[in-house]
Amino acid sequence: MGSKSFRLAFFSTQKYDISAFECQFPEHISAEYFSQPLNESSVKLAEGFDGICCFVNDVLDETVIKNLSQLGVKLIALRCAGFNNVDLNAAKRHNIKVVRVPAYSPEAVAEHCLALILTLSRKTHKAYNRVKENNFDLNGLLGFNLHNKTVGVIGLGKIGSAFVKILNGFGANVIYFDPFAESELAKPVSLETLYQQSDIIALHCPLTNDTLHIINEEALEQMKPGVMLVNTSRGALIDTKACITALKSRKLGYLALDVYEQESELFFKDMSCEIIDDDVFQRLLTFPNVLITGHQGFFTKEAVSEIVATTLHNVNEFIANSPLTNEVK
């Protein structure tokens, strides 16, 4: 690059991104932070930049990528692991490289998944509110042990494996379904068996054409009555309306979500003074056995500092014209 600095535009920037990234850039990289998410209407902000840095809900479809290419952007640096929001074929056609942070802290997401399970199983969210009001009544707070429960894990990659290690410490019986990975940490089973046997089902697979709405009406029908379903992966793994029907029929006993199919309209911003138009989401909030967090599984000090380090490494490799360790093709 010579002495010219590499210009990197951040999209969907939050305050915590700026405090994590600023001061970390060497002199040859200059960053500008846009709070706007990347989409067709905001893509023009990328004019004059060599690369862009995006997050989970930025739209990187054919149209946006074509625009980026016309604006001179050569690099898409994802500051996340999932890349389901990127049209990789379009990026290839327009000669834009895509890099990501493949594993910033699988334990961060696995531990959050466990936090959701324990909150629902031991009702600590309700207990917290009761005790704040000097209400020490235990009625309605009856929980259940994880010990000896069957936990089904769909997708035994980095996060799934970290999750299984935690569950093994609880003395749970862990089974898993993953067509592409093997592990001695848990027992492999078919998807049908996993649905039939599990007391708790956790989703740790990526969102692909094969996994879109993997949890639908048919899958829910096969599950044990009262099953707990936990999704910390991607919202569209679940057909949310089918889950609402299963919650109403009491088939689904508990639902914990850190991700939601239409989350880009809601998450990562303060909507407390807004009217929320999404009736499906609002219905979910009415159930006492549904717990939702706003895509915070990744959000630990350790994970954020790893995201910064890997993103800088990725950008530096691109600038140096070196092989891209974390390229997605």
Choose between 46 and 290: whose C-beta lies nearer to ligand NAI: 290
Question: In this structure, which long-range contacts are made by residues 129-136, counting pairs with CB atoms below 8 Å and at least 24 apart in sequence?
Answer: none
263: annotated active-site residue:
yes
Question: Is residue 154 involved in binding ligand NAI (CB under 6 A)?
Answer: yes
Which of residues 319 and 328 has its CB atom nearest to ligand NAI in the complex? 328
- In whole angstroms, what is the distance from residue 141 CA to residue 298 CA? 29
User: Can you tell me which of 160, 238, 252, 308 binds ligand NAI, judged by CB under 6 A?
Assistant: 160
- What three-state secondary structure class fits 222? helix
Q: Output DSSP code: residue 39.
A: S
- Smallest gap from Cβ 161 to ligand NAI, in A, equals 8
CA distances from 208 to 66, 85, 205, 233 (A): 23, 10, 9, 11
Q: Looking at 73, 204, 229, 317, which residue binds ligand NAI (CB under 6 A)?
A: 204
Catalytic residue among 79, 100, 234, 317: 234
Phi and psi dihedrals of 79, rounded to 5? -100, 45
DSSP per position, 40-98 = TTTGGGGTT-SEEEE-TT--B-HHHHHHHHHTT--EEEESSS--TTB-HHHHHHTT-EE
Site membership for ligand NAI, residue 29 (CB under 6 A): no
Nearest distance in Å: CB 201, ligand NAI? 12
Exactly one of 17, 50, 87, 178 binds ligand NAI (CB under 6 A); that residue is 178
User: Which of 240, 238, 260 minimizes the C-alpha distance to 248?
Assistant: 240
H-assigned helices in the chain: 15-21, 62-70, 88-93, 106-122, 124-132, 158-170, 191-197, 217-222, 240-248, 279-285, 301-319
Q: Which residues inside 248-307 make contact with ligand NAI, applying CB under 6 A?
A: 258-259, 295, 297-298
Site size with ligand NAI, rule: CB under 6 A = 32
Exactly one of 79, 100, 261, 263 is catalytic; name it. Answer: 263
Contacts (CB under 6 A) with ligand NAI, residues 89-108: 103, 106
Q: What are 31's strand-pairing partners?
A: 8
Q: Is 234 in the site for ligand NAI (CB under 6 A)?
A: yes
Using the minimum distance from each CB to ligand NAI, give the nearer residue, 11 or 83.
83
Is residue 234 part of the annotated active site? The answer reads yes
**Given 86, 91, 151, 205, the residue binding ligand NAI (CB under 6 A):** 205
Q: Residue-wise over 273-285: b if at least 16 C-beta within 10 A, else e?
A: eeeeeeeebeebe
One of 59, 109, 229, 247 touching ligand NAI (CB under 6 A): 109
Nearest residue (beta carbon) to ligand NAI: 157
Catalytic site residues?
Answer: 234, 263
Binding site for ligand NAI (CB under 6 A): 81-82, 103, 106, 109, 154-160, 177-181, 204-208, 210-211, 232-234, 258-259, 295, 297-298
